Structures are given as structure tokens and as C-alpha cells.
Chain A
Amino acid sequence: MNEKIGMVVIVLGLAFDFFGCVGLIRFPDVYNRLQASAKCVTLGTCGILLGLFLFKGFSGAGIKALLCMVFILLTAPVSAHALARAAYRSGVKPWGGTVVDHYGEDLENIK
């Protein structure tokens, strides 16, 4: 029973991984790509690790998979945030269809 649930969770995770990578190809500029891929790939990999935990139960590998999930959930948004900031600071212009750009206006005033 656990293995069937684990299989479903792994397939969901694989699908979200794929959507994130398609977003990486399709979206028009760095910031949108970052949005799509950071969200989808993080949740997808967490899904795969949760599936591993459901397969193995509370053995060594299962506990380590849970720890790995916590690490990824803590570190992936931080690196996405750092990359978005670095892209703005290194002078990448937002896409032409951008509606408002308050951060670009305020960029001189912040440090």
C-alpha cells in the first residue's frame, strides 16, 4: 500500500520537475524563469524524496530523505532570491512586457 502511494507521489514529482524545466525554456526573461523553475523543481524534488521515504519507511535511507527535503526547502528559495538580486545588480533588463518596475526605480537608493 505504502509503495503504491509512494509511486503516485514520485510520478507527481517527476511531472512538476518537467513543468519547471519547460518553464525554464519557454519564459522570456531571467526573473520569470527563476519563478517557474525555483517553485516547480523544488516541489518536484521534494515529491521524489517523499516517495523515497514512503518506500523505505523509518529506516536509515528514509530518515535521510526527510532531512534532505528540509535542506532543499530551506536552501532553494534563498539561492533563488540571491540570483534574482544578482541579476538586477548585474544590469539585466526586465522583459519588454513588464507592467511596473519599482525595484529598478529604487535600485540606486538601496546601498
Chain B
Amino acid sequence: MIPGRVRWFIGLVASFAVLALILFLPLPSMLKWQSGFLGRAFLWLLVCAILCLARVVRGPTAPDRSVAIDMLGILIVGFCAILSLSTGRDWYIDIGIAWALQSFIGVMALAKYLEGRDFDE
């Protein structure tokens, strides 16, 4: 049986290896839109979003899920910034600003609901 510490270390090395592969692996030409640095950065953010979604699925209590949703909302602003760089369309960053404010209001409403208060306080 492998001790816990060694297992964590193996997991750490494996996750970093996956990230290095995502950033630096040469891709076949059919996936050409992902070959630049910004496309790879987009894939990296996708890995982070999948980790957040894992917490949403697994979270034992409701506040856990709310925290994960809050973090997902902030990550999506990052998505918008990367998208506006890689496609060259400036209006993606407008979506980012609107998304930041909207997710803030949504999380505040969730927090009030969890606390058991009315919304009109």
C-alpha cells in the first residue's frame, strides 16, 4: 500500500504534467485554432472550470456549491478577456464587465437565501 503523502505527490506531478502538455504539446493541424498561446490558455482555464464544476457536483452542503458557483462566475470574466484577445473582438470585454456585476448580485441573493432572510431587507 502506498502511503498518502507519496500518493499526493504523484497526483501533483501528474496534474502538472497534464498542464504542461496542454500548454506546450504540438497539435495536429486539424486543431489549428488551439495552436497559439492564447488557445492553450483557454484550455487551461477550461481545466480550472472543470475543477469548480467537480466541487459543485460533490459539495456536501449548499454553501459549498455557492462558493464554487461564485468562483466560476469570476473565472468566466477571465474567459471573456482571453477570448477578446484571441479573436480580436473588443466587445467580449463588455460581456466580462456585465458578467462580473451580474454574478455578484446573484451570489449576494444566494447568500441571503442561505441565511434565511427576505430579499427586500
Residues on the B chain within 8 Å of A83, using CB? 63, 66-67, 70, 107, 110-111, 114
Chain A interface residues toward B at CB < 8 A: 7, 10-11, 13-14, 17-18, 20-22, 24-25, 30, 33-34, 37-38, 41-42, 44-45, 48-49, 51-52, 55, 59-61, 64-65, 67-68, 71-72, 75-76, 78-80, 82-83, 85-87, 89-90, 92
Chain B interface residues toward A at CB < 8 A: 15, 19, 37, 41, 44-45, 47-49, 51-52, 54-55, 61-64, 66-68, 70-71, 74-75, 77-78, 81-82, 84-85, 90, 93-94, 96-97, 100-101, 104, 107-108, 110-112, 114-116
CA distance A87 to B115 in the complex (A): 7
Are B112 and A33 in contact (CB-based, < 8 A)?
Answer: no
Prevailing SS type, chain B contact patch: helix
Are B115 and A25 in contact (CB-based, < 8 A)?
Answer: no
Give the Cβ gap from A82 to chain B, nearest Cβ, in Å: 4
Are B81 and A17 in contact (CB-based, < 8 A)?
Answer: no
Q: Which of B41, B55, B100 contacts A71 (CB 8 A)?
A: B100
Residues on the A chain within 8 Å of B67, using CB? 24, 30, 33-34, 37, 83
CA distance A33 to B94 in the complex (A): 29
Are A87 and B100 in contact (CB-based, < 8 A)?
Answer: no
Identify which of B15, B41, B64, B93 gathers the most chain A CB atoms within 10 Å of its CB: B93
CA distance A79 to B45 in the complex (A): 22
Nearest CB to that of B70 among chain A residues?
A79
In the complex, 26 of the A-B residue pairs with CB atoms within 8 angstroms, ordered by the A residue number, are A13-B78, A14-B44, A14-B45, A21-B52, A22-B15, A22-B51, A24-B55, A30-B67, A33-B67, A37-B68, A44-B78, A51-B81, A52-B85, A61-B84, A61-B90, A64-B97, A68-B93, A68-B100, A72-B77, A75-B104, A76-B104, A79-B108, A82-B111, A85-B111, A86-B110, A87-B61
